Each structure stands twice: as C-alpha cells, then as structure tokens.
C-alpha cells in the first residue's frame, strides 16, 4: 500500500460567509450580461455579410430590370423571348404518300443509256471515294413507266407502283395502275397523337390598329358566304429619338423606349430637323478678311431661334476665320417669314440665310431656290438632315387591309388578314421525314429554346459531361505504371493546359470541323464544335484533378482490396474511386463554374449564346449599359446558384467526422 503521507489531507468545505454572498452574485450577474453581449457581437460578426450585400444588390438590380422597359427588352432578347405556352412544337418537312389510281395506255418505259452506264461504272465498279465525296455522281431516277391518259401523260417510278392490271402489260396495252403519289408537306407541327400529325401549313396573320386610323370601311361577302371588311387606313405615325438614318432605313426609339425599324420606301412623310444654308451668288464669290461684316438672316420662330438663344447679342458677333488670322464680324437678322428672308438674300441685303426646321416645311428654302432659278441665290451644300439623337416624326404611307374582324373596341380593331390552314396526316402515310426542328420557345416546348441563356446552359452541361469522361480517362492513365500510357496522358495534359481556351475553340471550329467534313462522313454543327472545344480544353484540368484525388487515397486501400481478391479495375472502381470522388468534388464544382463563364468564348463561333445576343442587342439599340449589365447579372446569378449547389452536394457527400 502507498504511504499515506504522500497524499495531502482533504479539508472539509467551508460555508460561504453571508456578508459576501450578494457581492459574489452581483459579480456573476455582470459576467453573464457581458457574455450575452459578446455572443451577440460574435453572431453579427459571423454573418456572411458578403452574401447579404450581394443578395440586396441582386434584388435591387432585378427590380430595376423588371420595372424598366429597356431592361425588359434586353431580357427578352437574351432569353430567346420565351412564351408561356405554344402550339408551334416543331418545324417539319414530311413526304407523304397518297394512294392514287390511273387508267390509260402503256406507252413508254425508261431504258439504260450511256449516262446510266457511266454512273454504274463510277459507282459500282470503280467505287472511288474521291469521286463519290466530290459530289460528281448524280443518281438518275429509278426506272419509270409512262401511261397515256385522257388528260395527258403520267410518268410513274416503278418503285411507287403498288398494283398494275394486267401485271404483265406491254407497250401499247391498256392498263390500270395503282401507285403512291409523293406529296411534300411543309409547316409547323401543332399537335400529334398515336395515329395522326396536325401540321399548320399557312400561318395566321393578325393586324391590330387604332380605329382613328380608319379612313373608309367596306363590308364584302365572299363566294363562300363569309363577310370580310376592307379598310383603308391612314399610315401609322411614329415620334421619337432618332438613332440611325440611312438611304434605306430609319431607326428611332419612342417615348416608351420601344425601338422601331422602318423602311424609307414605306415612309410617306418624315419630319427630321434639317439645316439649309443659302448664299447670295455675289457674296459666295467674295473673300472674307479680318473684321469684314457678314450679314446672315433667319426666320423668327423656327428651330434656329432656339439655337441662337444662348447668344447675348445678334448684332456684332466675332467668328474666327478658318483660313486666316483674326475674326469676321457677323450680324444675325431675323425675318418674319421665309419669303421675306429669301427676297433679302436675292436682293443682296443679306450675304446668307440659315433655315433649320423639323416641321413639314423643313425643305422650304431648297424648294424656293429650285422654284426661283434666276434669283441669284445658291445652295453651297444640299440640306443636311439630322443623323442621330434628335426628335423626329415619321408617317407611313396609307394602305388597305382586309380580312375577318376578330375583335373591335372603341379604340382598336383586330383583323385576321390571313387565316391559318391545317392538314392532318395519318402517320402510316409518311414515307420520309425530311426535317424536324424545334419550334417556338415556350415553357411547354423547351426544345425550341435554342438561343441566349438556354444555349449557354446546354453547351456548358454537355461540354462538362464530356470533359468529365475525358478527364477521368486521362486521369486514370496518369496514375498507371505503364510508361506509354503515362507519357501519352502527360503529353495531352501539358500541351492542352498551355494553350488558351479561345485558341482551342477556334481550332475546333475552323480546323478540326472542316477536316472532318471533307474527309469523313461526320459534319459537326456549330454547337458541337463549341462542345468539343470546351470539353477538350477542360478535360486536361479535370484529368489533373482526378489524378490528385486518386493519389490522395492511401496506398493501403488498393493493397487491401487486392488482398481480398479484387482485380485492379475492380479495386479502382469499388474502393479507390468512390473515396477519390469525395475529395475532388469541390475542385470539380469550381471547374464547372469556370466553364460556365468561359462558355462566353463560344460567341467567336457565331453561336447565339448569352454574350452574343447581348452584343447583337447593343449593336441594334446602342444601349451598351443596359445590355452588358443584364449579361453580367445573368452570369452572376447562374454562378451563384451553382456555387450553392456545389456546397450542398459537398455537405451531403462529406464523410462523418
């Protein structure tokens, strides 16, 4: 037993003195209050303020975007203008076979010719890939028979004939032939079931306009008994800020921020501020020196008056000379009307006249000079129209519209100018599906959303899925002991990581794709060129991520799996890779977000992705601020959502402890 002297003697607990109990309680209460304050401050300091500030900014930006007409316009452009619902499911071209019978006299049959012999030689005997891929071979129609009917001759390919009576008919015999007539149906697939397809071959056209534009109206009864209206209406007028003016078109932005594109051929009248300069013929030849006086007139009340309001005086204005030292003295004189002004210029009382107007008489001075050729007044330059950022009024020509009235109110009228036409096809009658492309973009037809943000997301997901396969394949090769596999995978990783992604995309679009098209049956679309370029570029980085994840797993895991009788592929599949995936999830998520941002580079391949549509919108409207703001915000929202998704997946797959 141990010596009891080695242990100190335990004294009984002493009771707390009564006189000190209150002081101790106060001290404890003060310490508790201070602890709550520290906790509150620590809680406030621990809040993710970056996320809170970002969320507030994002909400404010989204609110301003949805309440601004300009931002709503650019959002529609960047999201492929999706609809809530649509009937336009697919744009299709179908070859339909309709059973047909004719009765007549068998008068002709196609025969072999020199041309068919040469074609058979090149196609069946020589069988040259060069000849075939160069497109030299033109296959002739299959053998045909010709039937003389009462209405004329009918030529039928033998492969379409389903029955002929008599079956062994010869030239000159009377025959009855049943065959399949091929009919091409082009239109928009609007409905389908197990038996039929409904295709709209003619689209509906509806025009809605204000009733105050109606000049005359007449009701007409068609031979089918349907009543339609024929309305002569006044050309529509537009007023807004001019953004572009050319010889063929006019672009302006109205007060409600909607953009209008007009053809000058459709314009009946346009009130564009126009400046006209007229000179007295004698004054036009006179040289002006320092301190010479130049008398210039204008019409009081025209637009030039507002331009002169900033001048203190109109009597003696020094104007610097462009080709000499000093300044000339200018006197500006107002006249009540254009006629008096031009008479003064013609009489030599004025050296020149200025006329600036955006009203109907904007060309009045030029017309006066044209109507008075002997008045000694010349125009040194043609009238100059405002080119941009001025307020203009444009009126289109009067026209006539007729159709069926769909809806009419006191203010507006809607007329169906073209009625839609539908054809119902039995699925059994379809001989060939020539083309099927997604129709309008809508929530019930997301296959039709092929531009903007939808294209960006689709290309990103497809490219990343392919990049994962490439990265895993080369990542496994990077951990092999086989020197050939290791060297080949290392060469790919080091070379691709050293080339900019933009160069890889250009190489995929303008080198690899044309080579495949010319030398193989493969033809890559622009979208697949982008997918291959992105996946090939990111595959090298993902390969390194998988290599690092696999090598982070203890070697004992592989040895233990092999000791249990597993083969190397089984051990890698069931033991090493599941553990490595947990390790590499965060960097894989970061690469996915990086690829989403780098997908903006595919715009160099002329793909209508998010950035490309934003650039097209800006080039059309000159609204760079709203355009690039919306593009940046949409990318930011997508990357933030993906970041949160990656964090959730990482937490779900994290090992306990």
Reported as type and span, the H/E element at residue 92 is strand 90-109
What residue segments make up the domains of the chain, in order of their start? Answer: 91-188, 205-234+398-419, 271-378, 446-653
Tokens of residue 525, six digits: 């679309």
pLDDT in tens, 70-116: 778 888 888 877 888 888 888 989 888 888 888 888 877 776 777 67
Would you place residue 326 in the very low, low, confident or very high pLDDT band (cuts 50, 70, 90)?
Answer: confident
471/360: higher pLDDT: 471
Contact 173, 107 (CB under 8 A): no
- Tell if the pTM clears 0.85, that is, is over it: no
pLDDT band at residue 602, thresholds of 50, 70 and 90?
A: very high
What is the rounded average pLDDT of the residues 6-14? Answer: 51
pLDDT score for 134: 55
Determine the pLDDT at residue 1: 45
- Residues 389-418: tens digit of each pLDDT: 888 888 899 999 999 999 999 899 999 999
Question: Topology of 271-378 in CATH?
Answer: D-Maltodextrin-Binding Protein; domain 2 (3.40.190)
Identify which of 105, 93, 102 has the alpha carbon closest to the alpha carbon of residue 180. 102
- CATH fold label, 446-653: MetI-like fold (1.10.3720)
Q: What percent of the chain has pLDDT over 90?
A: 21
- Exposed, middle or buried by CB within 10 Å (0-12, 13-18, 19+), for 211? middle
Q: How confident is the model at residue 499 (pLDDT cuts 50, 70, 90)?
A: very high
Residue 154 phi, psi dihedral angles, 5° rounding? -125, 125
Asked if residue 32 has pLDDT above 50, the reply is no
Residue 14 has pLDDT above 70, yes or no: no
The backbone torsions φ and ψ at residue 398, rounded to the nearest 5 degrees and listed phi first, read: -65, 145
Strands (E) across 123-222 are located at 144-149, 152-157, 161-165, 174-192, 196-202, 205-210, 214-221
pLDDT value, residue 541: 95
Provide the pLDDT confidence category of residue 539 given band limits of 50, 70 and 90. Answer: very high
Picking from 580, 575, 570, 542, the residue whose alpha carbon sits closest to that of residue 556 is 575
* pLDDT band at 28; cut points 50, 70, 90: very low
- Range of lowest pLDDT (107-121, 208-222, 473-487): 107-121
In CATH terms, are 271-378 and 446-653 the same topology?
no
Establish whether the linkage from the previous residue to 548 is cis, with ω within 30° of 0: no
């Amino acid at each position: 037993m141990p010596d009891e002297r080695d242990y100190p003697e335990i004294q009984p607990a002493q009771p707390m003195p009564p006189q000190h109990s209150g002081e101790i309680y106060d001290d404890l209460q003060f310490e508790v209050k201070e602890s709550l304050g520290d906790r509150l401050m620590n809680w406030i300091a621990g809040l993710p303020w970056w996320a809170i500030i970002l969320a507030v900014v994002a909400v404010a930006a989204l609110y301003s975007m949805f309440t601004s007409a300009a931002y709503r316009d650019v959002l529609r452009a960047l999201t492929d203008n999706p609809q809530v619902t649509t009937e336009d499911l697919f744009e299709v071209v179908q070859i339909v076979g309709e059973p047909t019978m004719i009765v007549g006299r068998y008068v002709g049959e196609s025969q072999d010719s020199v041309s068919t012999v040469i074609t058979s030689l090149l196609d069946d005997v020589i069988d040259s890939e060069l000849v075939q891929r160069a497109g030299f071979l033109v296959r002739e129609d299959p053998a045909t028979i010709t039937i003389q009917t009462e209405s004329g001759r009918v030529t039928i390919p033998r492969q379409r004939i389903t029955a002929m009576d008599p079956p062994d008919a010869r030239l000159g015999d009377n025959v009855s032939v049943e065959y399949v007539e091929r009919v091409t149906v082009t239109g928009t697939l609007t409905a389908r079931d197990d038996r039929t397809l409904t295709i709209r071959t003619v689209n509906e056209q509806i025009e809605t306009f204000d009733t105050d534009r109606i000049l005359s109206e007449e009701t007409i009864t068609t031979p089918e008994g349907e009543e339609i209206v024929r309305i002569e209406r006044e050309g529509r007028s537009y007023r807004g800020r001019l953004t572009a003016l050319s010889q063929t078109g006019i672009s302006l932005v109205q007060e409600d921020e909607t953009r209008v594109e007009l053809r000058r051929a459709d314009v009946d009248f346009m009130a564009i501020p126009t400046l006209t300069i007229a000179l007295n013929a004698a004054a036009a030849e006179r040289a002006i020196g320092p301190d010479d006086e130049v008398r210039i007139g204008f019409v009081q009340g025209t637009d030039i008056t507002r331009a002169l309001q900033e001048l203190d005086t109109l009597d003696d204005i020094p104007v610097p000379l462009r080709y000499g030292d000093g300044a000339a003295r200018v006197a500006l004189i107002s006249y009540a009307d254009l006629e008096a002004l031009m008479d003064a210029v013609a009489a030599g009382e004025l050296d020149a006249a200025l006329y600036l107007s955006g009203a109907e008489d904007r060309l009045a001075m030029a017309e006066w000079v044209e109507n008075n050729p002997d008045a000694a007044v010349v125009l040194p330059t043609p009238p100059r129209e405002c080119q941009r950022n001025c307020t203009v009024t444009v009126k289109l020509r009067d026209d006539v519209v007729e159709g069926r009235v769909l809806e009419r109110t006191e203010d507006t009228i809607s007329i169906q100018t073209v009625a839609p036409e539908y054809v119902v096809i039995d699925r059994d009658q379809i001989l060939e599906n020539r083309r099927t492309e997604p129709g309008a973009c809508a929530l019930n037809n997301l296959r039709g959303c092929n531009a903007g943000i939808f294209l960006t997301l689709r290309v990103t997901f497809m490219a990343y899925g392919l990049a994962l396969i490439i990265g895993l394949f080369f990542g496994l090769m990077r951990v092999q002991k086989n020197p050939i596999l290791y060297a080949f995978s290392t060469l790919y990783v080091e070379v691709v990581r050293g080339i900019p992604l933009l160069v890889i995309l250009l190489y995929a679009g303008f080198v690899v794709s044309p080579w495949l098209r010319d030398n193989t049956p493969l033809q890559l679309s622009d979208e697949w060129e982008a997918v291959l370029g992105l996946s090939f570029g990111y595959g090298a980085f993902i390969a390194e991520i998988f290599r690092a994840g696999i090598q982070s797993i203890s070697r004992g895991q592989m040895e233990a799996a092999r000791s249990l009788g597993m083969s190397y592929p089984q051990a890698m599949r069931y033991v090493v890779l599941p553990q490595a995936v947990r390790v590499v999830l965060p960097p894989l998520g970061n690469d996915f977000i990086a690829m989403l941002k780098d997908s903006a580079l595919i715009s160099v391949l002329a793909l209508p992705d998010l950035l490309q549509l934003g650039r097209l919108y800006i080039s059309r409207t000159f609204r760079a601020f709203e355009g690039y703001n919306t593009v940046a915000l949409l990318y930011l929202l997508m990357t933030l959502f993906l970041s949160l998704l990656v964090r959730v997946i990482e937490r779900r797959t994290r090992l306990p402890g």
